[in-house]
Amino acid sequence: MGDALLIAVSGLNAASLRLSTAANNIANANDTGELQPAPGQSQPFQPQQVAQEAAPGGGTIATDVPVTPASNPSPDPNSPLANAQGLVAVPNVDTAQELVNTQVASFSYDANLKVVETASKMQGYLLNIFA
């Protein structure tokens, strides 16, 4: 039962990271920056995506990795950040995909939580048998 709990907890952590990453990307999706900022100037927002891989012994390991390319040129000639062609850098964030990611994270979290609850009940039943 310990393995089931460890696997489910790793799934809870991965779902939590997926939700946090999607929320951060959505919150910063409309930020703009210079296409080629000079050293020392603020950089455009760097979107992230979650990479998951199987953990040795079961479960999953989830990490944030940068999206490449981080930004796309977009016309905004009235922006003080626009270059000579009137372009600014906007984050490479697909808001629709990020909303899907929040739903996937929610379903994954719920499923892993059910595993934790079931394993806990089974452990309780097992202790009652020996009591």
Do the Cβ atoms of 34 and 80 come closer than 8 Å?
no
pLDDT of residue 1: 47
Domain boundaries, the chain: 2-130
Tell me 5's DSSP state: H
pLDDT confidence tier of residue 41, bands split at 50, 70 and 90:
confident
pLDDT confidence tier of residue 2, bands split at 50, 70 and 90:
low
Tell me 114's DSSP state: H
Residue 86 CA, distance from chain mean position? 32
50-75: pLDDT as tens digits = 999 999 989 999 999 999 999 999 99
Whole-number average pLDDT of the chain: 92
Residue with tokens 């079931």: 118
The closest alpha carbon to 29, from 45, 18, 51, 50, belongs to 45
